[in-house]
Amino acid sequence: MKIGIIGATGYGGLELIRFLHNHPEVEKIELFTSSDEGAIFSSRFGHLIAIHDDPLKKIDVDSFASLDVIFTSTPSGVTSKLLPSLVGLGPKLIDLSGDYRLKEPKKYEEWYKKEPAPLNLLAESVYGLTEWNEYNIKNAQIIANPGCYPTAVLLSVLPLIKNRLIESNSLIIDAKSGISGAGNKPSQGTHFSETNENFSIYKMNEHQHIPEIEQAINMFTDVNATVSFNTHLVPMTRGILSTAYATVLPGVTNTQLTESLEETYKNHPFVRIIKDTSSLGTNRVKGSNYCDILVKLDERTNRVTIVSVIDNLVKGAAGQAIQNMNVQFDLPQTLGLDVVPLFI
Amino acid sequence: MKIGIIGATGYGGLELIRFLHNHPEVEKIELFTSSDEGAIFSSRFGHLIAIHDDPLKKIDVDSFASLDVIFTSTPSGVTSKLLPSLVGLGPKLIDLSGDYRLKEPKKYEEWYKKEPAPLNLLAESVYGLTEWNEYNIKNAQIIANPGCYPTAVLLSVLPLIKNRLIESNSLIIDAKSGISGAGNKPSQGTHFSETNENFSIYKMNEHQHIPEIEQAINMFTDVNATVSFNTHLVPMTRGILSTAYATVLPGVTNTQLTESLEETYKNHPFVRIIKDTSSLGTNRVKGSNYCDILVKLDERTNRVTIVSVIDNLVKGAAGQAIQNMNVQFDLPQTLGLDVVPLFI
Amino acid sequence: MKIGIIGATGYGGLELIRFLHNHPEVEKIELFTSSDEGAIFSSRFGHLIAIHDDPLKKIDVDSFASLDVIFTSTPSGVTSKLLPSLVGLGPKLIDLSGDYRLKEPKKYEEWYKKEPAPLNLLAESVYGLTEWNEYNIKNAQIIANPGCYPTAVLLSVLPLIKNRLIESNSLIIDAKSGISGAGNKPSQGTHFSETNENFSIYKMNEHQHIPEIEQAINMFTDVNATVSFNTHLVPMTRGILSTAYATVLPGVTNTQLTESLEETYKNHPFVRIIKDTSSLGTNRVKGSNYCDILVKLDERTNRVTIVSVIDNLVKGAAGQAIQNMNVQFDLPQTLGLDVVPLFI
Amino acid sequence: MKIGIIGATGYGGLELIRFLHNHPEVEKIELFTSSDEGAIFSSRFGHLIAIHDDPLKKIDVDSFASLDVIFTSTPSGVTSKLLPSLVGLGPKLIDLSGDYRLKEPKKYEEWYKKEPAPLNLLAESVYGLTEWNEYNIKNAQIIANPGCYPTAVLLSVLPLIKNRLIESNSLIIDAKSGISGAGNKPSQGTHFSETNENFSIYKMNEHQHIPEIEQAINMFTDVNATVSFNTHLVPMTRGILSTAYATVLPGVTNTQLTESLEETYKNHPFVRIIKDTSSLGTNRVKGSNYCDILVKLDERTNRVTIVSVIDNLVKGAAGQAIQNMNVQFDLPQTLGLDVVPLFI
């Protein structure tokens, strides 16, 4: 397979390169840029010296036909304009940005404050939450790869909503992310001295992943839910931990909650149901495509605590994108992704 | 004033020394130990070389009469047995452990899995949440200094409960702490390589600060509330951020919520009401006795998000203990505590 | 005393505010800006809410006469042009930038690649290494406050050179700094995700503090030395540790080396001679004005290892600046600076 | 191939599992323990859930014959006693501890303060610095895998010594390591709150890697050198950066120094010669088997600065061990090790 990456300088792009480098079906990776044509990629990213020393290529629609897949890993507002010119050229399009996730253009405008993608492409694009949408992904031309937070949240709460174990409107999600989620562009908010040794909340009740979560709940469970969702910055590079709270429906037991998750994911190699709190943490999935989930019913309050962890750059971005590519090309989902988490 | 500290080797104890060193009314600090008599304190804690090079003294009830205050900063289960022998000797007793916080011995046994303190001393001890209990603190012989999490939580939610702005049973508190909260004893769970770059949840729904929070809500607002409360470890040393969610009562506005806080704390120098999310973070209070609070109503869900930050070792331990001492001795609350947060 | 700070938004400026806030002789602090007139300082720096909410003032030479001291904490290349207009107005001038440290304009041009300050002011300015230049500091109108690295290096090596215990030309200095040394301006090199969990070397053999170190060795010991000096970035915010290596002169013992340091600094409260490696580390001086020094002779190689630590923002910047101010105003050197290091 | 690991609970052992999991020639990995027979490995190390859930096996000499390789990743002082019983059983023995590195038992006793391994096995063991000892490694029964520091140091300085470009006795090595180098056993010195935000020096002039470095210099270059060597702890998990200083021999140029390295390693895929300081840092090799080297001549002092970085757990331990295994089995050196560094 021949792969193109647009937006390789972002951290999602770097992780695509890291995993595709070891993917047995990938024979070539080409990096495209809108602005830095000719730049030697490894000059900016020293870790790629002797691994990817090619110059960046100019985005050129004519040359794309020979590719099998194009990953677009760009800031929001780029692929809404770029993808229309790529559709139909041949390669599958896997978009890691938020531009094709929300089906309703108005929602996109409201939460992203940008012009939405064309309606026909929004309709055609398939939401790439692999474990929940495999059939549609297989046949998709455009995949809207899920956001990092929605991936962690949805994988953990969807089984409980779908199996009618929790009151969906009681759902409160308190999410925490490492700072790589803010991307590679320096700012005061990602400046080491002001970020290190600091834990903070941001975009209170206003994160653009809220409509994505609510849309997916509806898409996969037919339930309309309005959720509380907040996001925090953890002074570490990688990892998301989502803590969700929901009131259980009458009579629901802890065993039912756990079994619901186990049953849902029994054939899904990247989702692990954890029994012991001490085995759960973002470093247990670091560098890997795993999503670990733990649920625990609090009988004092009749609420279940639903905890999940992912590596935001892997299962939350590049890893899931490659997992979707594997599905599209009828390859085992784990191909190129079967790595042991780093832990330390 | 002459001060004794029992348990100085803990991080709370070190912070007591740090602040008392600059307290204008403190003339002498003596450190007591049950096991290390004669050890030079600065040999273990190099930062105190040339500052506190005295040997540790043996705990000796006879010599305590000349002290004005004894701070006990020991693990739970120590002062329940030690304090009975100190009561009535003369010095005020300020206990930083959890042994005198819960008024019901059964609750202590249930959550701490240890033998409770004598009932008469539990009855006599005064809960040292300074901003809410000043009158009782002034006359107390034994002060039960609040836990770090309860301090951050209570200061932020009490005004809203007392003013009947939120449904108290809807309260869900998601708290996060730096690792110094785990104390100074090495363990796998505080080992650098496994803690660094890891965000995790612990004691799910089982933290011993739950009954303390519920008791204090009742004590200061006359409301019985059962709360959801979870705690997480942040890979940083100092700081607690508490994110609480509650359904607001019908008609309550964001302005009312903010004004409730402003009104409550207008004469309290260590509580700051923050308006802008970007001004909030644990590093904005680092090393200081401030508690910063921000509330925001989410009209989509009719829930208020209540965020507060403290330095767990200062306002969450040593700082508040000294603030209580100041109250007891009719000194300005800020004496010795009026420092600028470090930020970086 | 009335104090003015130009360049308060830098980290050195923030630390000046932190310490001056508790300085018993300081009655007023005014912050000046060249570009942000009227901005509320605490809006940018939330930790100063309720502490310093005044608007920034425009730099205005006329209003400076009523001040006792002006600290300039600006990037290099600013005070070379600004200070000529302030000289003679009345206030003492303490410059934390590098513009007045090198006596030879050519050296400044060579290492800083900028236009030097006027020759007469360079001649007049006094190098503010407090422990070594107290007499001149007392009478100075302009103080060139030392660089962070030179402070850590010079305090540790000067006694050994002055007492002719080491071969000065054998001196190799390997220095390491926390990232706050790079200032508060975001860049790729201070971006959290690329700085965290990374240790790197920078400005190899080219750091502008090299001529400052060599000039000070000559100034205080009459020895001409050419030193090797390299600098590294440590993934932490504060602190410098300097490891220096030098061949000892024939017959010199470890005892002589240690005694040389002890004798030199016996009346200097901010320099501590450390005996035990386990008591040495940047966190033992964090947030304080201490410089801790440890020397150890390696008999296998006949070289002494000279280690020193400081907080780069305190003894390496704001703390030493205030120490110099105290000297100028005949106050005890420790006034406002006598704080216990944070350690954790 | 069937692989046994003794001492899998150490961080070196975990990294062996991580890489062997993706090694195309490895069919089975068995973990052995002296004390925890039957324990489920993934219960202690949650990141291995669903990856390695087997129970630990008892060390049993009889069952070892069916294995192809046994890696021993134990603290020093264990394999000195254990290996004699394993020699001749069949499997190749690759020892990651320090017990078989020093050829002279007296040196081992002097620096390790422990009883040395049997003399005949010390004589037989081969020092596994892959790039310098390939021929001997190929035929070795026992491989003494190099220490983490010596790997970083030797790869960078050996070419310059061998090609007689530097004065070997002028060599001063200032090394810095992430905290994972201290192993997985909790202690005050690895306790998060006291290690985080701290940079410190340890084992001043006394590190047990000193005789290993000097022995290897002699072994590979026939030069006797006595080196200065110091080690520091960096508040990060992985990575070593070594900064070495040496006087160049008369007339030696920067070009010669760089070319010496390029020539030495032109056929060695894991050593990269770096030209630009900004491309060098421990995160550029994180998680990978690369060693990056940069040299720069300082004409002011006539000294060359030699900088190298490795991941201490990979090229400094498990990675190099597998590289040696590949050599022994006539496999490409990169098999199972050809991964892209994580960078972030």
Residues B155 and B205 in one domain: yes
Q: Give chains near D: 3+ CB pairs under 8 A.
A: A, B, C
Quick check: is D250 in a domain? yes
Q: Give chains near A: 3+ CB pairs under 8 A.
A: B, C, D
Query: Do B198 and A232 make contact, defined as CB atoms within 8 angstroms?
Result: no
D292 chain-A contacts, CB cut-off 8 A: 46, 49
What are the Cα distances from residue A217, in Å, to A158, A212, A222, B245, C58?
A: 7, 9, 7, 21, 55
Shortest CA distance from D314: residue in chain A: A342
C300 chain-D contacts, CB cut-off 8 A: 205, 226
C194 chain-A contacts, CB cut-off 8 A: 184
Q: How far apart are the C-alpha atoms of B257 and D223, rounded to whole Å?
A: 77
- H or E segment to which residue D18 belongs: helix D11-20
Nearest-CB residue to D237 (from B190, B197, B236)? B197
Side-chain half-sphere of D131: how many Cα atoms within 13 Å? 24
Residue C328 dihedral angles phi and psi, to the nearest 5°: -60, -35
pLDDT of residue D47: 98
Residues A176 and A296 in one domain: yes
Quick check: is D10 in a domain? yes
Residue B230 sits in a domain of what CATH number?
Answer: 3.30.360.10
Report the predicted TM-score, pTM, of the whole model to 2 decimal places: 0.98
Quick check: is C144 in a domain? no
Nearest-CB residue to A180 (from C186, C193, C236)? C193
Side-chain half-sphere of A30: how many Cα atoms within 13 Å? 19
Question: What residues contact C278, with CB distance under 8 A and at least 6 apart?
Answer: B46, D189, D202
Q: Of D224, D341, D208, which Cα lies nearest the Cα of D283?
A: D341
Residues D202 and D117 in one domain: no
Distance from CA of B188 to the nearest CA of D (A): 6
Write out residues in chain C with pLDDT < 70, as ranges: none
pLDDT of residue B308: 98
Residues B278 and B179 in one domain: yes
Mutate which of D44, D185, D192, D313 to disrupt the B interface (most B C-beta within 10 Å)?
Answer: D192
Distance from CA of C36 to the nearest CA of D (A): 33
Quick check: is D130 in a domain? no
Residues B153 and B297 in one domain: yes
Nearest-CB residue to C49 (from B48, B49, B279)? B279
Average pLDDT over residues A109-113: 98
Nearest-CB residue to D277 (from C201, C309, C344)? C201
Q: How far apart are the C-alpha atoms of B78 and B72, rounded to whole Å?
A: 9
Are A150 and A173 within 8 A, CB to CB? no
Q: How far apart are the C-alpha atoms of A143 and A124, rounded to whole Å?
A: 9
Residue A28, beta-bridge partner list: A2
Tell me whether strands C172-178 and C240-247 are parallel, antiparallel or unpaired. antiparallel
B186 chain-D contacts, CB cut-off 8 A: 186-188, 190-191
D282 chain-C contacts, CB cut-off 8 A: 197-200
Residues C82 and C175 in one domain: no
Nearest-CB residue to A205 (from B226, B296, B344)? B296
Question: What residues contact D120, with CB distance under 8 A and at least 6 apart?
Answer: none
Tracing tokens 């324990």 back to the chain, one arrives at D39
* Residues, chain D: 344
Report pLDDT digits (tens) over A26-42.
999 999 988 888 999 99
Q: Of C65, C61, C69, which Cα lies nearest the Cα of C29?
A: C69
B13 chain-C contacts, CB cut-off 8 A: none
Query: Do C238 and B344 make contact, defined as CB atoms within 8 angstroms?
Result: yes
Residue B36, pLDDT above cutoff 90: no
Query: Do C14 and B344 make contact, defined as CB atoms within 8 angstroms?
Result: yes
pLDDT of residue C279: 97
Shortest CA distance from A285: residue in chain D: D47
Domain limits for position A297: 149-312
B227 chain-A contacts, CB cut-off 8 A: 301
DSSP D96: -
Q: Known catalytic residue: D291?
A: no
Q: How far apart are the C-alpha atoms of C294 and C92, rounded to whole Å?
A: 35
C207 chain-D contacts, CB cut-off 8 A: none
Average pLDDT over residues D74-78: 96
Residues C298 and C156 in one domain: yes
Q: Which of D1, D48, D94, D148 is catalytic?
A: D148
Q: Confidence class of residue D34 from pLDDT cuts 50, 70 and 90?
A: confident
Are C297 and C166 within 8 A, CB to CB? no
Shortest CA distance from C245: residue in chain D: D172
Report pLDDT digits (tens) over C166-186.
999 999 999 999 999 999 999
Query: Do C49 and B22 make contact, defined as CB atoms within 8 angstroms?
Result: no
* Catalytically annotated residues of C: 148
Quick check: is D137 in a domain? no
Residue D77 sits in a domain of what CATH number?
Answer: 3.40.50.720
Quick check: is C81 in a domain? yes
pLDDT of residue A63: 86
Shortest CA distance from A183: residue in chain D: D344
DSSP C242: E
pLDDT of residue D311: 98
Shortest CA distance from D285: residue in chain A: A47
Residues A178 and A89 in one domain: no
Report pLDDT digits (tens) over C255-289.
999 999 999 999 999 999 999 999 999 999 999 99
Quick check: is A284 in a domain? yes
Average pLDDT over residues B307-327: 98
Contacts 24+ apart (CB under 8 A), C206-212: C206/C111, C207/C149, C207/C231, C208/C76, C208/C98, C208/C111, C208/C112, C208/C147, C209/C147, C209/C149, C209/C150, C210/C111, C211/C102, C211/C107, C211/C110, C211/C111, C212/C98, C212/C101, C212/C102, C212/C146, C212/C147, C212/C150
pLDDT of residue A126: 98
Tracing tokens 């003339």 back to the chain, one arrives at B27
3-state secondary structure of D323: helix
Distance from CA of C161 to the nearest CA of D (A): 18
Residues A199 and A114 in one domain: no
Largest distance between two CA atoms of chain A:
64
Residues D287 and D226 in one domain: yes
Report pLDDT digits (tens) over B222-232.
999 999 999 99
Shortest CA distance from D177: residue in chain C: C199
Nearest-CB residue to A187 (from C178, C180, C186)? C186
Nearest-CB residue to C340 (from B21, B272, B278)? B21
Mean pLDDT value across chain B: 97
* Catalytically annotated residues of B: 148
Report pLDDT digits (tens) over A157-209.
999 999 999 999 999 999 999 999 999 999 999 999 999 999 999 999 999 99
Q: Confidence class of residue A292 from pLDDT cuts 50, 70 and 90?
A: very high
Tell me whether strands D57-58 and D28-33 are parallel, antiparallel or unpaired. parallel
Say what percent of chain A tops pLDDT 70: 100
Name the amino acid, one letter, at C6.
I
Shortest CA distance from B266: residue in chain C: C50
Mutate which of B179, B188, B192 to disrupt the D interface (most D C-beta within 10 Å)?
Answer: B192
Distance from CA of C207 to the nearest CA of A (A): 21
pLDDT of residue C296: 98
Quick check: is D344 in a domain? no
Residue D250, pLDDT above cutoff 90: yes
Residues B213 and B113 in one domain: no
Mutate which of A47, A187, A191 to disrupt the C interface (most C C-beta within 10 Å)?
Answer: A191
Burial of residue D300 (CB within 10 Å: 0-12, 13-18, 19+) is middle
Tell me whether strands A271-273 and A291-298 are parallel, antiparallel or unpaired. parallel
Q: How many domains does chain C have?
A: 2
With vertex at residue B342, the alpha carbon angle to CA B336 and CA C3, rounded to the nearest 5 degrees, is: 75
Are C293 and C308 within 8 A, CB to CB? yes
Query: Do C179 and A190 make contact, defined as CB atoms within 8 angstroms?
Result: no
Report pLDDT digits (tens) over A214-225.
999 999 999 999
pLDDT of residue C63: 86
Average pLDDT over residues D156-175: 97
Query: Do D192 and B195 make contact, defined as CB atoms within 8 angstroms?
Result: yes
Average pLDDT over residues B35-58: 94
Mutate which of D148, D196, D226, D228 to disrupt the C interface (most C C-beta within 10 Å)?
Answer: D228
pLDDT of residue B62: 86
Q: Give chains near C: 3+ CB pairs under 8 A.
A: A, B, D
B14 chain-C contacts, CB cut-off 8 A: 343-344
Are C239 and C285 within 8 A, CB to CB? yes
Q: Of C334, A210, D313, which Cα lies nearest the Cα of B299?
A: A210
Side-chain half-sphere of B291: how many Cα atoms within 13 Å? 31
pLDDT of residue D33: 86
Could you tell me which residues of chain D have a Cβ less than 8 Å from any Cβ in chain B? Answer: 11, 178-180, 182, 184, 186-188, 190-197, 235-237
Tracing tokens 């001040």 back to the chain, one arrives at C67
Inter-chain CB pairs, A–C, below 8 Å: 61
3-state secondary structure of C126: strand
With vertex at residue A229, the alpha carbon angle to CA B190 and CA B197, rounded to the nearest 5 degrees, is: 25
Query: Do C199 and D243 make contact, defined as CB atoms within 8 angstroms?
Result: no
Mutate which of B19, B47, B177 to disrupt the C interface (most C C-beta within 10 Å)?
Answer: B47
B200 chain-A contacts, CB cut-off 8 A: 241, 280-282
Evaluate whether ipTM surpasses 0.85: yes
Q: How far apart are the C-alpha atoms of B64 and B54, rounded to whole Å?
A: 17
One DSSP character per residue, B222-251 reads ------EEEEEEESSSS-EEEEEEEEBPTT
Q: Confidence class of residue D190 from pLDDT cuts 50, 70 and 90?
A: very high
pLDDT of residue C185: 95
Contacts 24+ apart (CB under 8 A), D63-66: D64/D4, D64/D89, D64/D90, D64/D91, D65/D89, D65/D90, D65/D91, D66/D2, D66/D90
Question: Residue D77 corresponds to which tokens in the numbers above?
Answer: 């002082």
Residue at which a domain ends, from C91, C109, C124: C124
pLDDT of residue C62: 86
Average pLDDT over residues B245-273: 98
One DSSP character per residue, A264-300 reads HHTT-TTEEE---GGG-SGGGSTTS--EEEEEEEETT
Average pLDDT over residues A109-136: 98
pLDDT of residue C211: 98
Report pLDDT digits (tens) over D307-332.
999 999 999 999 999 999 999 999 99
Residues A198 and A107 in one domain: no
